[in-house]
Chains A and B, each alone.
Chain A
Amino acid sequence: MRPFDYTRAENVSDACAAAFAPEAQFIAGGTNLVDLMKLEVMAPGELVDINRLGLDRIEESDGGLRVGATVTNSDLAADARIRQDYPVLSRALLAGASGQLRNKATTGGNLLQRTRCPYFYDTDSACNKRSPGAGCAAIGGETRNHAILGTSEHCIALHPSDMAVAMRALDARIEVQPQDGPAKAYEMDRFYCLPGDTPHIETVLEPGDLITSVWLPAPKGTRQVYRKVRDRASYAFALVSVAAVIEMEEGRISHASVAFGGLAPMPWRDVEVDALLAGAEPSADLFDEAADILLQGAQPQEGTEFKLPLARRALRAVLEEATL
């Protein structure tokens, strides 16, 4: 690990000011960052510890729930209000990582875990995310846990979060305190950046911007399902995951928001899929059409072609369960 300075911030404005410095990074749970620092994939010159800012509460607010940035994944999954009203989020969190990691990993950190692939971790391989302009060893290389949607010729890494997929289906809003100026809030599709020709830039956050909380609006559907398909029964990233928030009225789907993990460089959602489902009567044909729309722009590698039928079947299974 490269040397760095360590600062424990006492309040949000001090934290933002400290992290405005070049080479500075916030640290919360550290489960992804410390790992990457050990491998020297990341080498921040300064770490700003945000664990003692009081951002560890879940509060009812504006008709929804405001989840502090340092609420751990365990506490969020076990919260009675989340289990009751946002079960898709509890399920997604419980499907992710291990008990030890969930006890340390935080809400903000989970969102900001690096979009990544094995070549990003291997400092002997070319990686545009690690060294912009170096090339991408994954394209044409060994692929499996890679994205097939939203990729570019420069990067096919994926965002491996389960939590963020459920939050995307729940229309979560990410609340950010900039180093100077008023607080900002982002819809998730405006928060993450697709790789394009700058795969090293993963979000819109500027230096000194601190995620303070995630706001969950009142759920728009009571039928919530999270399904994760992976290579082993536990403690593995999703090959494909689907989060669905559905409401039914008189045999028709009155609301549908469906988000996907394991497929893209960000928690994925396709407004055309949601629009097709809204107002429609559930059927196998409808679900197939939804999969057609979802996958029409997919660009798999040889090692990720299996994700096309897998995503189709996972989507169909989730929609069947949610509309039953």
Chain B
Amino acid sequence: MTLTLTVNGTERQLELDPRVTLLDALRVHLDLTGSKKGCDHGQCGACTVLVNGRRINSCLSLAVMHDGDEITTVEGLANGKPGELQQAFVEHDGFQCGYCTPGQLCSATGMLQELAEGWPSHVSETLEGEYGLTEAEISERMSGNICRCSCYPGINAAIRQAGERA
């Protein structure tokens, strides 16, 4: 099937079997190997990308269902040099092996946008009002991203710093 994706601002045409996931389309067909395949079942978050500004698990989505969509991968988060969030991950040791990091970065980018839009979370005390960048809020909102090196304190601090500076 033929489809068009706008990936990191560039329009890309693809001819794909409908079985190809968005993750495999990015990694195998477009050579954008930043997005990682961890569990391939939506449990680890390593494949997280932004679709039309929202974070999703690209491993659980068929590429053909994204015809016309705008995709942002980790390669598109920075413009030649590390962005604020990426820099914060470096400063706070938000990784060890780095395998989950592209997913963490895309997920955190989407999550900070959700916070800016005033979405509540499971740990929010009320369903009204603004939600701060507390450790508990960040941990809850990032629970779809696993780090097997367990760099959570650094990840949490990095997101907090980038969110506060935004």
Contact = CB atoms under 8 A, between A and B. Distances in A.
Interface of A: 1, 3-6, 8, 27, 30-31, 34-35, 38, 47, 49, 51, 74, 77-78, 83-84, 87, 90-91, 94-95, 97-101, 103-104, 233-235
A51 B69 CA distance: 12
Contacts of B107: 99-100
Contact of A99 (B41, B117, B124, B141): B141
Contacts of A3: 17, 19
Interface of B: 1, 17-19, 21, 40-42, 45, 48, 54-57, 60-62, 64-65, 67, 107, 110-111, 114, 117-122, 124, 127-128, 139-145
Given A6-B1, A234-B143, A83 B128 contact: yes
Given A4-B18, A100-B55, A100-B57, A77 B64 contact: no
B114 A99 contact: yes
Nearest to A2: B19
B114 to A, nearest CB: 7
Contacts of A104: 56-57, 60-61
A6 B18 contact: yes
A118 to B, nearest CB: 13
Contacts of B145: 98
Given A74-B114, A233-B139, 8 more contacts: A4-B18, A6-B1, A6-B64, A31-B42, A99-B110, A100-B42, A104-B56, A235-B143
B1 to A, nearest CB: 7
Question: Which of B41, B48, B145 gathers most chain A CB within 10 Å?
Answer: B41
A34 B60 contact: yes
Contacts of A99: 55, 107, 110-111, 114, 141-144
